[in-house]
């Protein structure tokens, strides 16, 4: 065991989901080590504890796992459980942390960001409940990282990450586990595999685009092997360190191959994609795209059709920018609905307290109390379970849903890699404007209220301020703006747009939202501040 002297880096501040930087930043001497030591320091040390370690397999994942093993040993951890090859999807890691009753886990991923030596890398800590560390802990990590002077590491040979079974490293137990097995077993408990298998047997067709990322082996095992989907249902199913050059973000822009197939003449019945670390999902029917906010609402309304949720759901939670579609379902079901800041960590307390069963975000994240992360494949399986039980198409289910609840037209516009100063100037100008906005008319619509979203956690009363600017119109339409907390280059402005309709469900969302889009540009002067006229990505 050696103690290495180091110098603090001043930029190790975790964002929406852990610390994300360019891979080369993490590859600098001491950079990863400093942050890992800061994690251990922030959680009161590693002595005697058991952790899960794994990542999405992107470039540098294997090296980082070796470093973490050696540092966990040097910091006195009793045991580390790692996925084979150092790979675990984020939901599978969350599941392992919970199933094995460990003290938490370190997950290596930059989620949906591209991977490779010139792309992105990330690291985050999840607590014993399997969920991302809350803000007081990530703040402590930043404080520790800012004053760090040394870290502990064992000098040793690499552990063979491909040898499933137990070994030791500097007195610490290391267990390498099959990355897929426990997760697949959990899915079998929640969903009616027999009903889904029968649907595939009777000719139901599907495409699952794993985008050369971590979900490939999970999807192949569950969909093709256990549920009998045709071989080849899973495409891009082999995880690659650079995701084969793909941008593993399951949205219509980046999963365009899947979109083209689903909108084409020979589309299968159902399509889905997931992201780099397997926690996001996109769902598409034949000829119809399901927005993540609608997906959450449909899942909440139909969850009872799956055996894991047959008793009904306790409540739902959505991030503030997510559309209110699921709130309408909650009202109908007579259960609580919560509105939280962006980021999965804000769902943890509600899930732990049993106040909510399902939660979701507009950013292609959906999940339930089965783990404490969003879960891409879980959402796909719940959809399959619903399709198997209702025996209707995705398009018909969506139409029926809108007829019952109305439709929340919704879109998000992303303006990426804006110069940070320009983005900050725009947001502070907008914040100054907020108090004067109520009563003002723009694009023929009157503003009812405007604020900067602040949240008080209903379970532990912790507060989070400045979570996004909201401009609410009298007709219930809404504009939300916030800056991304996961990017690694400049600033990304996210503009969220929503409008509720009681009839007329077949409009193109961009057309339905056109006046609201113009209003957002006018109020925030997006072009004036940033020079941008059109968004880079529309979802
Ligand atoms: C983005 C999404 C957010 C999600 C997070 C992690 O964060 O908007 O909903 O929880 O990625 O997947 P952002 O970049 O907006 O801070
Ligand atoms: Zn992800």
The pLDDT tens digits for 144-167 are 999 999 999 999 999 999 999 999
| Ligand 2 centroid to residue 122 C-alpha, Å | 11
**Domains of the chain: residue spans and CATH:** 2-177 (3.40.120.10), 182-405 (3.40.120.10), 407-538 (3.30.310.50)
Ligand 1 atom closest to 16 (CA): 16
Which DSSP state fits 226?
I
Whole-angstrom Cα distance, residue 426 to residue 36? 35
Closest ligand to 416 CA? 1
- Average pLDDT taken over every residue of the chain: 96
**Alpha carbon 402 to chain centroid distance?**
26
- Most informative mutation of 274, 361, 367 for ligand 1 (most atoms within 8 A of CB): 361
Which residue blocks in 406-447 are alpha helix, DSSP H? 420-433
Segment (H or E) for 441: strand 441-442
Please state the rounded mean pLDDT for residues 246-256: 93
Active site residue 111: yes
| Ligand 1 centroid to residue 344 C-alpha, Å | 8
Cβ partners under 8 Å of residue 194, min gap 6: none
Ligand 1 pocket (Cβ < 6 Å) reads: 16-17, 111, 319, 342-344, 361, 363, 365, 484-486, 494
Measured by CA distance, the residue closest to atom 4 of ligand 1 is 343
Measured by CA distance, the residue closest to atom 11 of ligand 1 is 486
Closest ligand to 111 CA? 2
* HSE (side-chain half, CA atoms, 13 Å) at 71: 25
Please state the rounded mean pLDDT for residues 114-120: 96
Output 133-138 pairs: Cβ under 8 A, ≥24 positions apart: 133/14, 133/104, 133/345, 134/345, 134/348, 134/349, 134/462, 135/345, 135/462, 135/464, 136/462, 137/42, 137/43, 138/14, 138/18
| Ligand 2 centroid to residue 507 C-alpha, Å | 30
| Ligand 2 centroid to residue 445 C-alpha, Å | 37
Please state the rounded mean pLDDT for residues 524-530: 95
| Ligand 1 centroid to residue 159 C-alpha, Å | 33
Q: Which two tokens mark 341?
A: 């800041």
Query: In this prediction, what percent of the chain has a pLDDT beyond 90?
Result: 97
Ligand 1 atom closest to 111 (CA): 12
Residues in the chain: 539
- pLDDT digit string (tens) for 467-508? 999 999 998 899 999 999 877 788 999 999 999 999 999 999
Q: Give the pLDDT score at 489.
A: 80
Whole-angstrom Cα distance, residue 198 to residue 221? 17
Please state the rounded mean pLDDT for residues 311-338: 97
Under the banding of pLDDT at 50, 70 and 90, the label for residue 321 is very high
- pLDDT digit string (tens) for 363-422? 999 999 999 999 999 999 999 999 999 999 999 999 999 999 999 999 999 999 999 999
Helix (H, G, I), strand (E, B) or coil at 271: strand
Whole-angstrom Cα distance, residue 504 to residue 351? 36
Per-residue burial over 224-236, b = 16 or more CB atoms within 10 Å of its CB, e = otherwise: beebbbeeebbbb
Q: Give the pLDDT score at 487.
A: 75
Under the banding of pLDDT at 50, 70 and 90, the label for residue 113 is very high
CB burial of residue 6 (10 Å; 0-12, 13-18, 19+): middle
Measured by CA distance, the residue closest to atom 3 of ligand 1 is 343
Q: Which one from 17, 94, 109, 111 is the annotated catalytic residue?
A: 111
Residue 333: C-alpha distances to residues 353, 399, 443 (Å) = 19, 19, 36
Under the banding of pLDDT at 50, 70 and 90, the label for residue 16 is confident
Closest ligand to 20 CA? 1
Ligand 1 atom closest to 280 (CA): 12
Please state the rounded mean pLDDT for residues 224-253: 95
Per-residue burial over 454-473, b = 16 or more CB atoms within 10 Å of its CB, e = otherwise: ebebeeeeeebeebbbbbbb
336-340 and 478-483: which strand pairing? unpaired
- Most informative mutation of 16, 373, 417, 493 for ligand 1 (most atoms within 8 A of CB): 16
Helix (H, G, I), strand (E, B) or coil at 319: strand
| Ligand 2 centroid to residue 219 C-alpha, Å | 16
Ligand 1 atom closest to 486 (CA): 14
pTM of the shown model: 0.94
Measured by CA distance, the residue closest to atom 10 of ligand 1 is 343
């Amino acid at each position: 065991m050696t103690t290495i002297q180091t110098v603090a880096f001043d930029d190790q501040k975790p964002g929406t989901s852990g610390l994300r930087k360019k891979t080369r930043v993490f590859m600098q001497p001491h950079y990863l080590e400093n942050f890992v030591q800061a994690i251990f320091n922030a959680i009161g040390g590693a002595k005697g504890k058991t952790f899960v370690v794994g990542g999405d397999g992107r470039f540098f994942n294997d090296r980082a796992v070796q470093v973490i093993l050696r540092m966990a040993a040097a910091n006195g951890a009793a045991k580390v459980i790692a996925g084979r090859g150092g790979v675990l999807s984020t939901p599978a890691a969350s599941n392992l942390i919970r199933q094995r009753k460990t003290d938490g886990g370190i997950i290596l991923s930059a989620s949906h960001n591209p991977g490779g030596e010139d792309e992105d890398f990330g690291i985050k800590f999840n607590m014993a409940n399997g969920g991302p560390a809350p803000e007081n802990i990530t703040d402590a990590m930043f404080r520790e990282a800012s004053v760090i002077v040394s870290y502990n590491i064992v000098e040793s040979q690499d552990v063979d990450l491909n040898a499933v079974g137990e070994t030791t490293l500097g007195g610490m137990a290391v267990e390498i586990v099959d990355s897929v097995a426990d997760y697949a077993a959990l899915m079998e408990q929640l969903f009616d595999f027999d009903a889904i298998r029968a649907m595939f047997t009777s000719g139901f067709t599907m495409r699952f685009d794993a985008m050369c990322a971590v979900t490939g082996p999970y999807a192949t095992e569950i969909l093709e092997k256990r549920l009998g989907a045709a071989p080849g249902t899973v495409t891009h199913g082999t995880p690659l360190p650079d995701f084969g050059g793909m941008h593993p973000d399951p949205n219509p822009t980046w999963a365009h191959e899947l979109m083209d197939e689903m909108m084409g003449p020979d589309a299968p019945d159902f399509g889905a994609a997931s992201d780099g670390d397997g926690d996001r999902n996109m769902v598409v029917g034949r000829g119809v795209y399901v927005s993540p906010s609608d997906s959450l609402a449909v899942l909440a309304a139909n969850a009872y059709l799956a055996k894991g949720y047959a008793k009904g759901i306790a409540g739902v939670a959505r991030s503030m920018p997510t559309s209110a579609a699921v709130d309408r379902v909650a009202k109908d079901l007579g259960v609580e609905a919560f509105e939280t800041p962006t980021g999965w960590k804000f769902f943890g307390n509600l899930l732990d307290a049993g106040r909510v069963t399902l939660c979701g975000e507009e950013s292609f994240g959906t999940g339930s109390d089965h783990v404490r992360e969003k879960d891409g494949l879980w959402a796909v399986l719940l959809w399959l379970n619903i399709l198997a039980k209702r025996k209707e198409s995705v398009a018909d289910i969506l139409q029926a849903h809108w007829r019952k609840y109305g439709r929340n037209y919704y879109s998000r516009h992303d303006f990426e890699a804006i110069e940070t100063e320009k983005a900050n100037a725009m947001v502070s100008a907008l914040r100054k404007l907020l108090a004067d906005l109520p009563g003002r008319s723009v694009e023929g619509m009157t503003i009812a209220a405007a604020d900067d979203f602040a949240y008080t956690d209903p379970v532990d009363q912790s507060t989070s301020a400045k979570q996004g600017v909201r401009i609410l119109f009298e007709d219930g339409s809404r504009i939300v703006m916030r800056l991304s907390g996961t990017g690694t280059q400049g600033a990304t402005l996210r503009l969220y747009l929503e409008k509720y309709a009681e009839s007329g469900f077949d409009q193109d969302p961009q057309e339905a939202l056109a006046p609201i889009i113009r209003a957002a540009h006018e109020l925030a002067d997006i072009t004036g501040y940033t020079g941008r006229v059109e968004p880079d990505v529309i979802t």
